[in-house]
Amino acid sequence: MKKDDVIIITPTVPIGTSTKIIKLIENKTKLTVEKDFYFIYNPERISAGQAVSDIENNYPPVLSGSGKTSIMIASKMFGIISSKKPIIMSCTEAAEAEKLIEGLYRDVNIALANELSIFCEKLGIDFWEVRGAANSQPYSHLHKPGIGVGGYCIPVYPWLLTQTAIDKGIKVNFPLLGRYTNEKMPKYSIDRIMSKIGNKKKLTALILGLSFRGNVADNRISPTYDVVKELIKNRIKVKVHDPFFSYDPLLPKEVKLSNELDKVISGTDIIIISTDHDEYKEIDEEYIIKKSKKKPIIFDGRNILNKDNFKKLKILTIGK
């Protein structure tokens, strides 16, 4: 590192990380921030599969720095990169908190949707009908429930924020309550399936989707891994299909993975939709019966199938 260098940090980090990095650099190099070098913290605000459009057009960049000169450099740089007006934060700690809380908001609201969907299921109420009506009110923003939450963002941020709270002696409840709720959804989903199957033996399940999110080749912390574990615990043979994956060393060796649906659907007793890939929305009843050579029970963990189009097969849907 040399004089007049500009350091830009973009990953999501615990609150206070930028300050620690600056102090470390100053101690190691004997350079002084805002005099000899400049420091910018710009938390990335991107989604897998659309990073470039997110950076350039979709969201305003959040900028912070070690002082006025660093902020000026950041503003000029991102004024070229992004079409959106930057949001200038008062300090790096505020920008670090913004990114964590932005993701935490989604996690706790997904958890609320998951808990309410279970509540509605047990009352015999369609959560999706309730959600549609509730969200017609502008102050209601109920999220979608699902079989699980994945990726390196939403499942991780609550832990980073909670650790800071623990370190500072601050009590917070919602982050971990939401995390516990979302982490139990794969098991809850498989338990619900098993309650409908009864004592049948030597069953085979096909999981549709390894990616944690639809239409991207990204399996980081995918809930599918937990779904696989729960099925194996119940002594069910497991196969996985995903159009983006033909190999994954993280899956147990006994689990067959294919990117060709025709190769894994035969002999299937249970079909579980774990990822909302667009191609799964188009799967019809006749195809399933013909290719599986059975009449499998279907668990729609993303509510993407039109139940009206399924007359011969039993469909369980999250929240219904």
pLDDT digits (tens, 9 = 90+) for 79-108: 998 899 999 999 999 999 999 999 999 999
Q: Where are the domains of the chain?
A: 6-90, 97-182, 184-317
Angle separating helix axes 92-123 and 157-168, nearest 10 degrees? 120
Instruction: Round to whole Å and give the CA distance between 227 and 189.
Output: 8
Q: Is the pLDDT of residue 200 over 90?
A: no
Instruction: Please check whether the two domains, 6-90 and 184-317, share a CATH topology.
Output: yes
Q: Is the pLDDT of residue 54 over 80?
A: no
- pLDDT above 90 covers a percentage of the chain that reads 92
Average predicted confidence (pLDDT) for the chain: 95
pLDDT at 49: 74
Q: Is the pLDDT of residue 57 over 80?
A: no
Q: Is the pLDDT of residue 296 over 90?
A: yes
Among 55-59, 86-90, 235-239, the minimum mean pLDDT is found in 55-59
CATH topology of domain 184-317: Rossmann fold (3.40.50)
Query: pLDDT of 113-145, one tens digit each?
Result: 999 999 999 999 999 999 999 999 999 999 999
The owner of tokens 């990822």 is 275
Residue pair 12/164 in contact by the 8 Å Cβ criterion: no
pLDDT at 198: 82
Q: Taking the CA of residue 315 as centre, how many other CA atoms within 13 Å lie in the half-sphere pointing to its CB?
A: 21
Span 238-244, mean pLDDT? Answer: 98
Q: Is the pLDDT of residue 63 over 90?
A: yes
Both tokens of residue 194? 């098993």
- pLDDT above 70 covers a percentage of the chain that reads 100
Residue pair 257/248 in contact by the 8 Å Cβ criterion: yes
Amino acid at residue number 263: K
Instruction: Round to whole Å and give the CA distance between 133 and 131.
Output: 5
Query: pLDDT of 161-181, one tens digit each?
Result: 999 999 999 999 999 999 999
Instruction: Round to whole Å and give the CA distance between 229 and 235.
Output: 10
Instruction: Round to whole Å and give the CA distance between 158 and 124.
Output: 32
For domain 97-182, the CATH superfamily is N-(1-d-carboxylethyl)-l-norvaline Dehydrogenase; domain 2 (1.10.1040.10)
Q: Is the pLDDT of residue 45 over 90?
A: no
For the entire predicted model, the pTM comes to 0.92
> Which helix (DSSP H) or strand (DSSP E) does residue 140 occupy?
none
Residues acting as catalytic residues: 99, 153
Query: pLDDT of 212-231, one tens digit each?
Result: 999 999 999 999 999 999 99
Both tokens of residue 170? 């601050």
For domain 6-90, the CATH superfamily is NAD(P)-binding Rossmann-like Domain (3.40.50.720)
Confidence of residue 199 (pLDDT cuts 50, 70, 90): confident
> Which own/partner pairs from 255-258 qualify as long-range (CB within 8 Å, at least 24 positions apart)?
255/228, 257/210
Confidence of residue 14 (pLDDT cuts 50, 70, 90): very high
